[in-house]
């Protein structure tokens, strides 16, 4: 044995030398060894250096110029800027002055854009909402709801008579749909419009207190007209000579004198009073006592009544007329989804800038560190920042599809926009509402100061979850549409663009998960957009198949309504999963279409964080069906934390790229520079 050790060619000696050499590398990897091995890093990491200008340019869209005009106008008019402390009465008058100045002094005509260029209208709405959310909503009531109902539900005679007055604000108006007893269930409205063939008029009447029109914007103070949604009643046209109920129609009803502004006979209006937020909007309650309007005041695009009282319509049933009527009002949901992202941008910008500025604690005998350097703060804010970018691209896609729908009236695009607007309005506004509170908490005590905006943003935005369709109801519409597409898939029908993935998913996604790929945990694989999108779509397809089976099972014993209610939470989860799939798909497209390589790399990082954070938040679903093995789940969690850390490194540039002027941010702690100085000056130092 001793002889073998002294022999350099012996096997033991060679093995010993190898062990010694390897041990040197393992315990002293930084020391150079001639001809030896070296430890290589798993991946060379380089710091990103995004160009705010390039990123902002890609985010801007085609209508930044008109937004800049709005910002410049209000910046030049301190008398039109909303103070932190203002009474309800003063706020209402200020909002009306703001809207009037926008139209008559700045020369911006939102109603013309709504009709001719919807995407420009939504850009105006976002900018105006940045000035004051109450102003944005009041503008929406005037132009999108009151004006939109006249243009979209009426015919040429209505446009000729009312367009200019709506456009120049000579005809301020209301959208009187919601009643005390009915909001979401529009088909159950009780207000009546009975045709009087003798006088050739409709008689608008509130039959009971439950039918009082409630929460009607512009009604309490400023409105002179209202689009009133009521049941069209034709006397003697029903079976056995009874009255015929032709369903819900809209009617133009004058409510105040154009000259004196006095209430007209039979119209009773009361103020809904102080609200949680949006107190610049004058919401009122209206009761009609046999108010007569000419037959021409019926908005008759989908149904008309002749002089002799005969009803005609191109649509054969009450349900089809109702669907067509509500379908024309979908622009409100598009606008709310888009504007909600604007509110989220403001809140995230304030929270991120303050978290970079604020320093608390740190290593012993070393300077304090920024709050955003703490993993917990990154966990709160960086996925939210990523989601803001995701929603930006998704709602921009929605606006583009809506514009296409208005130009083409293509049935497939119409179906796509109706379901997508319901889903995105619900998902985005709910997310924004939660996020504003998280942003407030992430800014500690200073986030509680009214001047730093979170309370105002939260209160004004909160109702976004309810008007233009309650979010839970809208998600059910999305789920119902998915089930309809699911049935059509098996009948060989065509699918609209947003749902195309279901064609492949039912076969490929619902097969047993691949036990090999379920264990892949490499970073390249986890950051592959195909893996991410496949995971989102697999979840949606799995939920769709399982809820369809449950509904079929329960309907046998509970009936269709009982089965739907039994599966309701499952249906809501399905709808949210589908919307997340659409959002991710549009984000991935935006990344791939970005022309600048450096900007594309930053967006890819943000997109990866959005995708993997969502997968991790629902990891139980993937684990339950073995789509993701335990080791892969752990790798996703670790990578999500690391990506949050990476995004923190470019967080300032990401929020600066939103290109929000100080007029919109307004919060001292959210200023791009001298935040503490502005904060102390605000309180009087």
Please give the positions annotated as active site. Answer: 468
Asked whether residue 178 is marked as a ligand-binding residue, the answer is yes
- Consult the annotation and say whether 217 binds a ligand: yes
| Cα 398 from Cα 59, distance rounded (Å) | 15
CB 427 within 8 A of CB 477: no
**Cβ 540 vs Cβ 577: under 8 Å:** yes
End-to-end CA distance of the chain, in Å? 87
Query: Distance between CA atoms of 271 and 116, rounded to whole angstroms?
Result: 35
What is the DSSP-derived secondary structure letter of residue 144? I
CA distance linking residue 611 with residue 109, whole number of Å: 39
What is the spatial distance between Cα 120 and Cα 124, in angstroms, rounded to a whole number? 6
Q: Bin 662: left if φ > 0, else alpha if -120 < ψ < 50, else beta.
A: alpha
Q: How many CB atoms lie within 10 A of CB 327?
A: 15
H-type helices in 445-567, by residue range?
454-462, 471-491, 501-508, 523-526, 529-566
What is the rounded radius of gyration, in angstroms, for the C-alpha atoms of the chain?
30
- For the chain, give the longest Cα–Cα distance: 128
The enclosing H or E element of 312 equals strand 311-312
Phi/psi at 361 (5° precision): 60, -175
Handedness of CA 290, 294, 298, 299 (dihedral sign): negative
Q: Which of 666, 662, 615 is CA-nearest to residue 639?
A: 615
Asked if residue 492 lies in contact with residue 603, where contact means CB atoms within 8 angstroms, the answer is no
Per-residue exposure over 427-466, b if at least 16 CB sit within 10 Å of its own CB, e if not: bbbbbbbebbebbbebbeebbebebbbbbbbbbbbbbbbe
Whether 322 and 248 have beta carbons less than 8 Å apart is answered as: yes
The total number of residues written for the chain in this structure: 685
Instruction: Report the 3 state secondary structure along 52-83.
Output: HHHHHHHHHCCCHHHHHHHHHHHHCCHHHCCC
Contact 273, 220 (CB under 8 A): no
Identify which of 345, 403, 310, 295 has the alpha carbon closest to the alpha carbon of residue 659: 345
Q: Looking at the DSSP assignment, which residues form a beta bridge with residue 252?
A: 227
The residues that bridge with 249 in the sheet, in sequence order, are 230
Give residue for tokens 């997109």. 607
- What is the number of alpha carbons within 13 Å of residue 3 lying toward its C-beta? 0
Locate tokens 């492949």: which residue?
504
Nearest-angstrom CA–CA distance, 443 and 465: 24
Neighbours of 93 (CB within 10 A): 16
Distance CA(531)–CA(627), nearest Å, equals 11
Q: Which residue has the tokens 């923190």?
A: 648
> CA of 544: how far to CAs of 478, 529, 577, in Å?
12, 22, 10
Angle at Cα 550 formed by Cα 512 and Cα 507, nearest 5°?
Answer: 30
> Which sign does the torsion angle of CA 334, 158, 283, 127 carry?
positive
Provide the 3-class DSSP secondary structure of residue 272: coil
**DSSP per-residue letters across 85-120:** S--HHHHHHHHHHHHHHHHHTS---HHHHHHH-HHH
Binding site feature residues for FAD: 178, 217
Binding site feature residues: 178, 217
């Amino acid at each position: 044995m001793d002889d073998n050790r002294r022999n350099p060619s012996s096997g033991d000696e060679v093995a010993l030398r190898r062990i010694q050499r390897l041990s040197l590398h393992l315990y002293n990897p930084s020391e150079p060894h001639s001809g030896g091995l070296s430890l290589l890093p798993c991946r060379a990491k380089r710091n990103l250096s995004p160009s705010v200008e390039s990123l902002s340019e890609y985010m801007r869209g085609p209508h930044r110029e008109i937004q800049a005009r709005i910002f410049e106008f209000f910046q030049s008019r301190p008398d039109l800027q909303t103070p932190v402390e203002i009474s309800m009465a003063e706020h209402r008058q200020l909002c009306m002055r703001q809207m009037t100045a926008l139209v008559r002094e700045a020369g911006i005509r939102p109603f013309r854009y709504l009709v001719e260029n919807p995407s420009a209208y939504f850009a105006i709405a976002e900018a105006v909402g940045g000035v004051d959310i109450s102003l944005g909503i009041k503008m929406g009531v005037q132009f999108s709801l009151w004006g939109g109902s006249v243009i979209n539900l009426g015919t040429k005679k209505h446009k000729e008579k009312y367009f200019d007055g709506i456009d120049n604000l000579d005809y301020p108006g209301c959208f009187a749909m919601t009643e005390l007893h009915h909001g979401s269930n529009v088909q159950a409205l009780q207000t009546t419009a009975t045709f009087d063939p003798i006088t050739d008029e409709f008689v608008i009447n509130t039959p009971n207190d439950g039918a009082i029109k409630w929460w009607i914007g512009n009604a309490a103070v400023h409105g002179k007209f209202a689009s009133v949604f009521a049941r069209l009643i034709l006397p003697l046209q029903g079976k056995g000579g009874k009255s015929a109920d032709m369903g819900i129609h809209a009617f133009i009803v004058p409510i105040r004198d154009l000259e004196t502004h006095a209430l007209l006979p039979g119209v009773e209006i009361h103020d809904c009073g102080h609200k949680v937020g949006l107190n610049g909007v004058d919401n009122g309650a209206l009761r009609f006592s046999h108010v007569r309007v000419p037959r021409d005041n019926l908005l008759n695009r989908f149904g008309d009544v002749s002089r002799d009282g005969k009803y005609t319509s191109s649509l054969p049933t009450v349900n089809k007329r109702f669907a067509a009527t509500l379908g024309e009002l979908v622009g409100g949901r598009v606008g709310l989804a888009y504007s909600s992202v604007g509110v989220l941008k403001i809140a995230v910008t304030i929270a991120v800038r303050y978290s970079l500025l604020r320093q608390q604690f740190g290593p012993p005998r070393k300077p304090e560190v920024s709050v955003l350097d703490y993993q917990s703060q990154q966990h709160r804010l960086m996925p939210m920042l990523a989601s803001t970018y995701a929603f930006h691209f998704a709602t921009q896609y929605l606006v583009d599809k809506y514009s296409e729908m208005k130009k083409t009236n293509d049935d497939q695009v119409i179906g796509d926009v109706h379901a997508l607007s319901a889903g995105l309005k619900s998902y985005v506004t709910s997310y924004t509402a939660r996020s504003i509170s998280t942003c407030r908490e992430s800014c500690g005590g200073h986030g509680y100061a009214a001047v730093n905006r979170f309370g105002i943003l939260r209160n004004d935005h909160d109702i976004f979850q309810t008007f233009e369709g309650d979010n839970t109801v809208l998600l059910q519409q999305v789920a119902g549409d998915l089930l309809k597409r699911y049935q059509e898939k098996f009948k060989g029908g065509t699918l609209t663009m947003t749902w195309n993935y279901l064609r492949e998913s039912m076969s490929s996604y619902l097969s047993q998960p691949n036990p090999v790929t379920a264990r892949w945990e490499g970073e390249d694989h986890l950051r592959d957009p195909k893996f991410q999108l496949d995971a989102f779509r697999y979840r949606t397809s799995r939920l769709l198949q399982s809820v369809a089976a449950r509904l079929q099972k329960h309907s046998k014993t509970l009936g269709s309504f009982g089965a739907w209610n039994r599966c309701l939470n499952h249906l809501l989860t399905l709808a949210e999963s589908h919307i997340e799939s659409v959002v991710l798909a549009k984000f991935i497209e935006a990344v791939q279409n970005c022309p600048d390589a450096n900007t594309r790399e930053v967006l890819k990082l943000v997109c990866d964080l959005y995708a993997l954070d969502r997968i991790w938040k629902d990891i139980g679903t993937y684990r339950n069906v073995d789509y993701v093995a335990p080791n892969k789940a752990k790798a996703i969690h670790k990578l999500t934390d690391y990506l949050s850390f990476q995004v923190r490194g470019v967080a300032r540039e990401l929020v600066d790229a939103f290109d929000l002027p100080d007029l919109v941010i307004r919060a001292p702690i959210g200023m791009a520079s001298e935040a503490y100085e502005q904060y102390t000056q605000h309180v009087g130092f």
